[in-house]
Structure 1
Amino acid sequence: MSMFKVFDISGSAVSAQSQRLNVVASNLANVDTVAGPDGQAYKARQVVFQTVLMNASGAAAKGQAESPVTASAGVRVSNVTEDATPGRKVRDPSHPAADAEGYVTFSNVNAVEEMVNMISASRSYQNNIEVMNTAKSLLLKTLQMGQG
C-alpha cells in the first residue's frame, strides 16, 4: 500500500466523523425541545457508516474490482436515521405546548448518550488527524534521507 493511501483512508474517516459530530451537536441542541405546532417533537438522529473501497487514485471505487493487494477501504456516511423511540412526556397543563390531556412531549434525545457519541467521534477524529500527521512526518523524513 502506498503511503499516500493513508491520507485517503484517514481523510474519509475525518469527513465521516465530522458529519457525526454535526449530527451530535444538532441532537444536543434539541435535547429539551418540545413538540412543535404539528405535534411532533424533535427526533434524535444517528449516522450510519459504510465501508467504501478506494481505487488507486483515492476516489471511491464504483463497481470496479481491484486486486486485494492494491485495494484499500475508507468510510463514508451512508445514511442519517431518526430514532423512532417516543419522546418523554411531562404533565404540565399550563404549558402552551401541552396536549388535550395536559402532557408536553419532549424530544427523545438522551443527553448522556449524545455526550458519549460526541467524545467517541471527537477521539476518532483526533486519531485520524494524528495518523495523517505521522504519515506526513514519515514522508518528509524519507525525502530528507534522499537529500543527504
Structure 2
Amino acid sequence: MMGAFDMLRIAGSSMGAHQTWLDTLANNIANINTVTSTSQSAFQAQMPIVRAVPGGGVEVAGIAESDPQGRLVSDPENPLADADGYVRAPDTDLASQMTQLVMAQRGFQASVQVTKDAQDTYSAALQIGRA
C-alpha cells in the first residue's frame, strides 16, 4: 500500500522531471531562429532522458541533443552567410516543441495536483489522530 509520503516523493520526482523538460523546451523555442555560419555547429535542441526509479518515481538520466549539422538555409543578406549565401539553422520543428510544451505543462500540473491531494490526505490523517 502506498502512503502519503510515497505519493509526495513520487509526485516530487515527477515535478522535477517535468520542470527539466519545460526548461529544455523553453531554451529550444528561444533558439529556434538562432543561426550560425556554415563552418559552425547549429544550435542543438535538448530533450531530457527520463527513467523510472526502483520503488517509484522518475529521474532525469541525461540530456539528449539534436544533430549539430542542423539544416542549411539560404539567407544571403545575413552577415554570417557563406559565399553561397547559406547559414546553418537548428533542425527543430516549432510545432513539435509547442506540442511537447503543452504536454510537459499538463504533466507538471498533474504532479502538483497529486502533491496537493497527498498533503490533504496526510492532513486528514493528522486530524483523525487528534480527535
After TM superposition, is the score higher than 0.5?
A: yes
User: In the alignment, what sits opposite 1:23?
Assistant: 24
TM-fit CA distance, 1:139: 1.6
Distance in 1 between residues matched to 2:72 and 2:37, nearest whole Å = 14
Q: Percent identity?
A: 32
Q: 1:125 to 1:142 in 2, by over 3 A?
A: same
Moved >4 Å (runs of 4+)? none
User: In the alignment, what sits opposite 1:103?
Assistant: 86
User: In the alignment, what sits opposite 1:138?
Assistant: 121
Contact 2:50 2:62 in 1 (8 A): yes
User: In the alignment, what sits opposite 2:52?
Assistant: 51
Match 1:124 to one of 107, 118, 127: 107
TM-fit CA distance, 1:2: 2.3
TM-fit CA distance, 1:134: 0.6
Contact 1:30 1:109 in 2 (8 A): no
Q: Secondary structure at the match of 2:121?
A: helix
CA deviations on 1:84-117 (whole Å, 9 max, x unpaired) are 2742322222211112221122112211111111
Q: Give 5+ residue unaligned stretches, structure 2.
A: none
Q: Return the TM-score normalized by structure 1.
A: 0.80
TM-fit CA distance, 1:36: 5.2
Distance in 2 between residues matched to 1:92 and 1:25, nearest whole Å = 25
CA deviations on 1:64-89 (whole Å, 9 max, x unpaired) are xxxxxxxx211011110111274232
Q: Give 5+ residue unaligned stretches, structure 1.
A: 54-71
Distance in 1 between residues matched to 2:79 and 2:51, nearest whole Å = 42
Distance in 1 between residues matched to 2:123 and 2:26, nearest whole Å = 36
Counterpart of 1:140, as a letter, is: S
Q: Return the TM-score normalized by structure 2.
A: 0.90
